[in-house]
């Protein structure tokens, strides 16, 4: 049985403002306050695992220990079928030191052109890890499938959102109002499992 979260404040183990904002919006309705690892001056640990779950756990444990309070970490990325699942766990790294996702999206597009991919099927994965200072952790995973478009469209969302159209939609995550994205994104699906297990 999953451990229940009884605290009212959580560290969001991320220095990505878009991710912190999105998680903060998701947890606010449960009376939880999100504090970013960046605001607490916590260092970003090196992500050395080959899986989303492994990297989410690294970040959650580091933040929980550093802040001495429960920490929620998300490791997520874009997996492109024709690129053998890349960029995958390296999704953020493809954006370079400046975290410029225009560069990352261009790399994805160039990769698809190089392999002459006619099918731009892709999916987002989110692994959400909740860790406590005593070392206990819970992990939840969510996915959303869709396809890629070029050029990117929309200024909402963050990361690869402007080039990803989820199944059943004609607009990208970059064109989608936040409330609509929150209802069906990979992060929302992982978050729903977290809510059911630890807050419900």
Backbone angles phi, psi at 160, to 5 degrees: -90, 5
Catalytic residue of the set 74, 75, 119, 134: 75
Q: Does domain 9-199 have CATH number 3.90.950.10?
A: yes
At 28-68, the pLDDT tens digits run 889 998 899 988 999 889 999 999 999 999 999 999 999 99
Q: Would you call 81 a catalytic residue per the annotation?
A: no
At 111-162, the pLDDT tens digits run 999 998 877 999 999 999 999 999 999 999 999 999 999 999 999 988 999 9
Per-domain boundaries in the chain: 9-199
């Amino acid at each position: 049985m999953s451990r229940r979260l009884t605290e009212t404040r959580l560290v969001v183990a991320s220095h990505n403002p878009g991710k912190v904002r999105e998680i903060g919006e998701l947890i606010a309705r449960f009376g939880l306050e999100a504090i970013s690892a960046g605001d607490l001056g916590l260092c970003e640990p090196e992500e050395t695992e080959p899986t989303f779950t492994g990297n989410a756990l690294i970040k959650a444990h580091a933040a929980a220990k550093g802040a001495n309070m429960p920490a929620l970490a998300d490791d997520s990325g874009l997996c492109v079928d024709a690129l053998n699942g890349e960029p995958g766990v390296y999704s953020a790294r493809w954006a370079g030191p400046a975290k410029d996702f225009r560069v990352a999206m261009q790399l994805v597009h160039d990769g698809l052109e190089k392999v002459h991919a006619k099918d731009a099927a892709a999916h987002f994965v989110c692994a959400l890890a909740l860790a406590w200072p005593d070392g206990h952790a819970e992990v939840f995973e969510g996915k959303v499938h869709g396809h890629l478009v070029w050029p990117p469209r929309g200024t909402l969302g963050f990361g690869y959102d402007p080039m990803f159209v989820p199944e059943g939609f004609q607009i990208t995550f970059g064109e989608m109002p936040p409330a609509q994205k929150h209802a069906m994104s990979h992060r929302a699906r992982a978050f729903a499992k977290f809510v059911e297990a630890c807050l419900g």
